[in-house]
Structure 1
Amino acid sequence: MAADRDRFSTATRLRAFGEQAAERVYRAQSRRLEPKPRRGRLTGRAAVLALVVCTLIVALAYPLRQYVQQRSDIADQRRLAEEAERRVEELRDEKARWQDDAYVRRQARERLRYLMPGETGYVLPADPDAEAAERSSADAERSRPGGATPAARPWYENLWDGVDRADAAPQAR
């Protein structure tokens, strides 16, 4: 029982505590001296957060693109509507002008070369050099069958030439 007493004696217990404490101190010092293993920069939480952010970006990319495209389409349609409104206003103005008899007469004079009863019409070349060139080209055209080019002659001459050609066409039976 002496061994039991020795085992349970205060001195033995103090010595055991001292040894255990010394071992803990030694282990703590050796841990401080060892370099700590570096943890990776990407932790589990950071990976989950990155995954959530990427998922949100992918999920919102298509609707955002559609939104931007629709805004662009709306702007284009508004621009086209404004252009159409301007065109309608221009056409209304033109229609109002055509309701005026004086405007109709002026257009008939300018475009169709109509004359009022008792007036004499003259067509003057603008440039004498152009007149000489026109004469030489007209002479060359007249030497060909059919006369001058249709663009160089007034519309009514082209009309009458067409009627004459239709009259002179051989009739097949």
Structure 2
Amino acid sequence: MAPSDRKPKRQRGRVPVSHRDTEPEGPRARLRVPTVRLSIAESAVIVVVAILILGAVAVPLRNYFQGRTDIARTTEAIAQKQEEKDRLLSEIDRYGSEAYQREEARKRLGVIEEGETAFRILDPAMSTGSEAAQDQDEEGAQQWWSVLWDSITIPDSATSEEPLEAGEVDTHMPIEEERPLD
């Protein structure tokens, strides 16, 4: 290798910068921000514009949050309906099961399985009570027409044929007239 092919060796601790020489030497000058003084009219215009912007943003925000609450309420209602649907489907499955149908047939209809013996216990108190109730029903069934006929043919004693005084209203109420206290 020839000595001209070598790259010059960098010194340690120094970083090469292309524009190092172009920077001014010495303390950097601080940038000064100009102060702006606003008059009362300019301040009022800024406040009015800010209020208009807030008003323009408030309505869509209210609509957004109202929509979010509607979505949450609807989601909750859907979840409740889904739970109700699941409960009803499980009830339908229960009604469809053969074991449940056998149990209900035994309970409600008194069906017995093949090879079983059914016993019916009669309580003497129950038989006398039901016969008395049947007798009362038969008497009531025979007498309804007489009650109707009596209500039509017998005049009501509560109605009076006396003319009403001026300002008095006939209410047809079976209330006795007030008697003076002794």
Query: If each structure's helix is expressed as a fraction of its own residues, which one has the higher value?
Result: 1
TM-score where L is the length of structure 1:
0.44
Structure with bigger RCO (C-alpha 8 Å, 6+ apart): 1
TM-score where L is the length of structure 2:
0.42
